[in-house]
Structure 1
């Protein structure tokens, strides 16, 4: 399944850890982690809050050279350095083909990225996002401008909860945009709660739990099962939740 394109694997150097009981090494999903292989097209990190999805994907992005707060490889601003040291314990295995483009979208700090773009006052940079300040658009429109304008083929895109600003319709449209970029030799690694965004068929899904990280199928993920159960039996679910 895996090819020599893009990122193929992340190896966790456990032997370097001197304080395994401290954050971030005490996160449930990291306790037994030794390595994580990536699909050449799309890899998902799924799981409940607090299982370490964002911490892990942040560390992966920083290990790749991206700014911890997000942006392309050339962004070096820092609003509030809060990222963990986990990236220092990661070794990346890359394929022979290197991506020509890349981006780390961290939904919680995308505001800071937009501010930095405005502060640089670079028309060429602004044009690469569609030519309009991201702060002059709604949160969802700004995310969409990023997907449609800044992302291109032969890229590595690491996304942390991209659904945060997108309606269900836009999440479905995001799948179409992802497919276009995958066909242009791009690779996605995505941490998400969204059963819509997680539905891309040619993908590898990892679920992070209290007992570690495991491969799973789309319909076996907690996010899919809970959403499916609620939507298809919402009246009964509401009685249980609200009684």
Structure 2
């Protein structure tokens, strides 16, 4: 590995956790984790991203088990979904400036709409690289726990902003209005485009909100959150008598 690249990656690892011992195996795996498929290189982040996905879910589950023992199982599942989401991974990657260390092909370099997706993939692969090199979850916990604490606090304080579909469904059924109706269309075919999907949500034939997202799921969640905000400030639809 190029000495400049090795020094750059060593600095990145130390910013994650100063206690991590730097050795050639770890540097090699981190280099692989930060090599995108578009680079054309055989050793890229794909397999480490696959590993990192499983490691992240297990570590996030342990975090919830350690720090949120009072939550019901359903609430634990909802919280974990936020602690392992692509949006959350992209935010963690952004705090690291991870895109500065990514080896990308020319097409990926020019695709600014995919930057969030690239940060999320690389962060997940970096988790896989650390676990593969060090063989335990404690380093993952030391790195990610501060991020998880902040996200968990926000999720538990304002759950409708993070799990709007469930909250909206509970409200509409409690009012005897049945289930919310989501109508979602694909507006572009650009992977990672934050406005790729447009969703409109209605209850009892009254449209309440519309929102966009990178995926159908994200667009629906955003629309549900918008509907809940609209319901707080206007007359809600009523069940027919």
Q: TM-score, normalised by structure 2?
A: 0.23
Compare the two structures and name the one with the higher helix fraction. Answer: 2
Compare the two structures and name the one with the higher strand fraction. Answer: 1
Rg larger in 1 or in 2? 2
